[in-house]
Amino acid sequence: MLDFLMISTRSKQRGVIEIYPKFIIKKSKDLMVRGGDFYAIWIEEKGLWSTDEEDAIQLIDRELDIYAKENKDKFDARVKVLHMWDAETGMIDSWHKYCQKQMRDQFKMLDERIIFSNHETTKEDYASKKLNYPLENLLAGNHTLKLRIWDTSGNSASSEIDFFVVPGLAPTIFDVYSDANPASTEANFYLKHNQPEGMATVTITVYTLMGKPVWSSTVKGKSDMFLTVPVNWDLCDYSGRRIERGIYLYRASVTTDEQTYETATRRIAVTAQ
């Protein structure tokens, strides 16, 4: 289910149950709004963002149809699905009001990095497209990547990048830090390293001062240049309860090419709610 969407029902006339979309005001991870209007939606099946509003309409309508099918035996009346594609339902107007008037801008610029076809993208890659060929199985040594692009008028520009391939090169971990310290609502942990755009599996573990682990999470993704993808902590322990205020310790481990490396221990302060 899209995190900004709730499926609701209502009955405006006897014997008819209407199924319709209700849009939630929140900081969404599936929808981006820019300039007071729809910007992009995450398509899980493709592993890419889409700036085509038609994709948003189709995804929402699909959720409506899934709900209607899964709950058809619960209704004792005729079911009417108010699809977004049907202008007469008014749902498209509710959608435009939601994006243009009710939501605030929340977005990341898309496609600021080159993504090859063999890269398994996540939301945090903020990609809406991939190059249709992979970058893999390169021999050790010097290489040059040349990229040429054209605009719709036929004008072109090119750029070259020289790089050196060292198989099995161990990463150098420079630092691990949190973007909130002290933290009051959440914290995102990052690792700085020397392998730009590299794939890495990062695990962050938080401990009490006595060394008891209270929370841990693992994420895998492509680094944003020299920073790993963020590991988000909602300041809750393993059981989902908000931890008490105080000083805690945290440490990171990063795995690349089946080798694991650990960082030094850092401190983080957590404030009261």
8 Å CB contact between 4 and 30: yes
List pLDDT tens digits, range 183-230.
Answer: 999 999 988 877 666 677 889 999 999 999 999 999 887 666 667 888
| Number of other residues whose CB lies within 10 A of the CB of residue 8 | 11
- pLDDT above 90 covers what percent of the chain? 61
8 Å CB contact between 83 and 91: yes
Measured CA distances, 109 to 10, 32, 101, 118, 158 (Å): 38, 10, 21, 22, 22
- Rounded mean pLDDT, 257-270: 84
pLDDT of residue 270: 95
Q: Which residue has the tokens 């150098």?
A: 172
Q: What is the DSSP string of 93-111?
A: HHHHHIIIIISPPB---S-
Question: Which residues lie across from 103 on neighbouring strands?
Answer: none
Burial code (b: 16+ CB inside 10 Å, e: under 16) for 43-64 equals beeebbbbbebebbbbbbbebb
Q: Which residue has the tokens 């920073």?
A: 227
Q: What is the pTM of this model?
A: 0.63
pLDDT of residue 216: 95
| Number of other residues whose CB lies within 10 A of the CB of residue 120 | 10
- pLDDT above 70 covers what percent of the chain? 95
Residue 169 has pLDDT above 80, yes or no: no
- Domains, the chain, in order of start with CATH, read 5-102 (no CATH), 173-270 (2.60.40.4070)
8 Å CB contact between 86 and 103: no
- Rounded mean pLDDT, 71-88: 93
Q: What is the mean pLDDT of the chain?
A: 90
Burial code (b: 16+ CB inside 10 Å, e: under 16) for 207-216 equals beeeeeebbb
Could you tell me how many residues make up the chain? 273
pLDDT of residue 25: 95
Residue 179 has pLDDT above 70, yes or no: yes
List pLDDT tens digits, range 114-166.
Answer: 888 888 888 988 999 998 888 777 888 999 988 888 888 999 999 998 888 87
Q: Which two tokens stand for residue 66?
A: 């899934």
